[in-house]
Structure 1
């Protein structure tokens, strides 16, 4: 039986990126994926992802130049995206492209459902149910990367806290996009902060070229996601568009405190909880999570030190911890009521808020170049949270 250096469980953006990086570095890699499952996702990718991970133009189905924020009272704030664009991908094709690229780099593909991990003195074994035959198969390996999603079976079985990741449930419908209308712009993303759509998160209308993603997320039990999405389609003038597919899945709310088991497993992507608070953005952080997991695995294989698996979380948090902290504070402050959401959209009128927000989004780091702008935003934010200003003022 073949002995792999690493078995990557999960073939989404995180797992496929980890498999590709390891294969390119000369490791013997297996990529195990169920296939046939498309994660519900708005599909937005920033320029930094496109550049850092060599995403070709063929995968970008739309180039967004404006974001529209919509408040509970239907206040609309259009934020232009200066000096670039937000790319949109369709996960059905984007994930397949990344898996194919990993295979082309040298990773060996397997299609099936992960069952469990077994060990003896000789090696670690990954057992899975092969999709084609339904039979249980075994992959022998030195290390494992668990990239199997927000409800990761690998995390639950192997990593402390892996069964307690907080999450929201996201649901969306991919529809056949209409021509541009008074309500729908194929170059604009709409983000709806309205408790009638989502009492604790937001709804969205994201163009994908010939199609569009319309959906919402919530962490509150009892919310009818399909009903809320139907109401959002009506409010957006999209109720008569043909529905192509419907998808739902959990989205984690914060990174786990630990990503490895101190032995032979390290987590990546949603399995490690790396989705940005407030925005729910996950694709960029997934591929970065895959890369740092690959880096940690390669280090462990080279040195034989299992503590090197901890590099994955250290490297990720070193660059992104502050952004996650700021976004988490913003979600806690503004998503709790329609009054707060109204004030948040009002705050987005500010030109400094707009510029700094999108500079941070495009480049994936907090901007420190304009301290006076940060001070102004901080004062205005405090004024809104303490109700020193009316939400009707700009």
Structure 2
């Protein structure tokens, strides 16, 4: 009996010291970072699948398209969905470290005949941006376009999501010359001049018409927009923003960083001019640069986590040299892990903490004693004087 009591006392003491040790470790200021999450994501854009002479510069053969997708799988790349991309760019979604997203512009019939079966076979998704007027007329540059029945079938499959590429604003004036794109040209297709105010309404009416027809024939309202030729200006941006699109795409090359936002998404074009090996090299280069850029961010965050309290401090490295103040304010948001995804709960601590020349390190804290058991994250957002933002996450368990 005495022996049993000794064992019980020993176990209690061990548990006590472990608990004290855990609390002491948690109380130490700790640097956190976004591990097991992509530091950047490349969006790959396609157009036509086949060998049409009229659009030779944007064709990709069935063989090469298949080779490119196989290369992605063989090299550990994950093709994500648009919902995953949006959550990632908004700064609250995790995706695999090597992630890519696929888009297709215009809406040529070859999407249905060539790309769609391969995507289904390989279990990959893509967002297709259609020029609605060309779909209704049946041709673009004498190349056959998709019809509504084909578009609906692909949309219903879940492998192809339909986005807006305008109703009839995918053209250039001045004999198809660059810098005369319809989205930035103050005239209609018939040459009738437009004031800035009239052009805003003109674009809005076009986008709305396309939106309504896509929803009518697919049963789903599009939530993404692709700028024709990737061209936009202040008025075009305003029209797209007021149309309520969650995400819009440019044709600017490069990669997209975590928390960077869902405006003017960068994409790289793929066609017969890009072999599977060359595409692999582009992706590897983007992956390396995104890693470097992520680690060289200006934002710095430190957290102190105890059993009852979380304290977060945030600052910019560039503000530690006593030069002109770069930070304007820091915002803090609380997220909880639900079914493997972060879900916004509410503002955290003081939420908005202003920066000043005398207070370049901004901090907040909150009592977590009454939190439910689970995994939590604090999203720290530093808004700079120029309006740009940097995002950092603190992860902790209760």
* TM over 0.5, shorter chain: no
- When normalised by structure 1's length, the TM-score is 0.23
- TM-score (ref. length: structure 2): 0.22
Using CA pairs under 8 Å that are at least 6 residues apart, name the structure with larger relative contact order, 1 or 2: 1
Larger Rg: 2
